Structure 1
């Protein structure tokens, strides 16, 4: 086992700390505005991207990087709230297709201003455009 150098450790700590702070700030802003949690936004955005055609739950799970049980629970709650619809998959009688409802689309759009403000306040106002590009490039290397 090799020791992690201090610079790498400091980079990891800064990355995790800032990530957690930004996520907590987004969650708090959404909750304060009476919106669902960030995980709902992420799911709604992915469902909006695929459109009326919908997506299989396992494909959504892969896009969200959630465990299977987490995706199932999330979808159940979102269906109950009327944000997501399900229909049987024609190719596979056991499977389902999930897709965003009109209400889900409206909620996703209503959530964006709160989310966007946190991104602007927490990143956009603190970095120049060139620094933001550099940060994105550095993170993509990981």
Structure 2
């Protein structure tokens, strides 16, 4: 294994530092808006979104954790919070005693309906409307490739 570092040139460093700053600032703004307007964390909002899109409004916890790029323990905590608020329930998996489904409740659907407009407005203001259509396309393509490679377990570039 080659242990010699390939240092970032000025363009690569600019891309990296811009990504870190933008990701942190957008994330902070979205988190703040959801807490103030809907009393939800961003992860909790995303749980509701994924459950609402799933057949029957339910997903296995392991599948949900994969979708959210969250640890199982972190997701369990968030689902516990949502369950205490009556927005999500749980049920056992009939085919696997270890399996648990998170289930969206009607209150959860309503919370999502109420929270979505403010969330989308914030996402637009913080990111989408700041970029041109061309920049959004490049961003989606580039970050989509990063996600694809990291999910496959390899971030090494192809040459």
User: How many correspondences in the alignment?
Assistant: 142
Pick from 80, 93, 97 the counterpart of residue 93 of structure 1: 97
Determine the structure 1 residue equivalent to 2:15: 11
State the alpha-carbon separation in 2 of the partners of residues 128 and 92 from structure 1: 48
- Greater share of residues in strand: 2
List gaps (5 residues or longer) in structure 2: 147-159
Alpha-carbon offset, residue 34 of structure 1: 4.0
Q: TM-score, normalised by structure 1?
A: 0.90
Determine the structure 1 residue equivalent to 2:50: 46
Change (3 A) 1:139 1:95: closer
State the alpha-carbon separation in 1 of the partners of residues 142 and 99 from structure 2: 39
Q: Which runs of at least 4 in structure 1 moved beyond 3 Å after TM superposition?
A: none
Change (3 A) 1:88 1:138: closer
Q: Secondary structure at the match of 2:59?
A: coil
Q: Secondary structure at the match of 1:93?
A: strand
List gaps (5 residues or longer) in structure 1: none
Determine the structure 1 residue equivalent to 2:61: 57
1:130 aligns with 2:134: yes
Question: Over the residues paired in the alignment, what is the CA RMSD in angstroms?
Answer: 1.6
Pick from 113, 120, 131 the counterpart of residue 117 of structure 2: 113
State the alpha-carbon separation in 1 of the partners of residues 135 and 15 from structure 2: 16
1:27 aligns with 2:42: no
